[in-house]
Amino acid sequence: MLLIVVSVCTATGAWNWLIDPETQKVSFLTSLWNHPFFTISCITLIGLFFAGIHKRVVAPSIIAARCRTILAEYNMSCDDTGKLILKPRPHVQ
């Protein structure tokens, strides 16, 4: 949730930064100084990525996929909420 909020803030700040006519007339650092919302949200977003928040977003789906792979060997599965689904046994003739 935090990643989504900071990403939206960064995108909004970037849009305001880019449409500002003063951005083209002043230096890069002055432009960033004139748009503190974008600067702070961008620094926060970079900090979150250095802290490893992108791994926390991807990790649950990897764990669920690995669990489904193991459960498939025993004719079982699970849904997204974690409920175990028992599949019928295959008939060997």
Domains of the chain by residue range = 1-51, 56-88
At residue 93 the predicted structure's pLDDT band, cuts being 50, 70 and 90, is low
Displacement of CA 81 from its chain's centroid (Å): 20
Distance, CA of 29 to CA of 7 (rounded, Å): 21
Distance, CA of 62 to CA of 72 (rounded, Å): 15
Q: Find the helix or strand (DSSP H, E) in which 84 lies.
A: strand 84-86
Which pLDDT does position 55 carry in this prediction? 73
Mean pLDDT of 10-37: 90
Reported as a single tens digit per residue, the pLDDT across 26-80 is 998 998 899 999 999 999 999 988 988 877 776 677 777 888 888 888 888 887 7
Distance, CA of 71 to CA of 75 (rounded, Å): 6
Q: Phi first, then psi: give them for residue 85, nearest 5 degrees.
A: -115, 120
pTM over 0.85: no
